Amino acid sequence: MDREAILRKSKKNMYKEEYKQVKSSGQELGTIVFACLAGIIMILDFFVGKTSYSVQCLFWGYFGSVMYAKYKTYKRTSTLIGLIASIIATVGLLLLYIMKLYNVNF
């Protein structure tokens, strides 16, 4: 390989790593913003007396997907417990949302 080809390959790899870092930091920021907004909406709904099953379902579903990725990587018991709890919460809240949507009383 000549010098120019090596430089191009090195630059290409550097861009790939930079892209991964930007993507990762963007996902972290997105997680924080999503959690904050979901929390604000749930608190406002609580004070107004409305239910926020849809927002809570989205929040716990997202949290469950994060827990799944962490459990798949680290295999920690605490992460597994968080994963199972978030799955239960997501399914339960989705059922409550559907019941409310179709005016099913429980």
DSSP state letters, 14-37? HHHHHHHHHHHHHHHHHHHHHHHH
Residue 86: CB atoms within 10 Å: 20
**pTM for this entry:** 0.75
Q: Which two tokens stand for residue 76?
A: 């920690």
pLDDT in 10s for each residue of the chain, 106 residues: 677 777 677 767 777 777 778 778 888 888 899 999 999 999 999 999 998 899 999 999 999 999 999 999 999 999 999 999 999 999 999 999 999 999 998 6
Q: Which two tokens stand for residue 15?
A: 């861009």
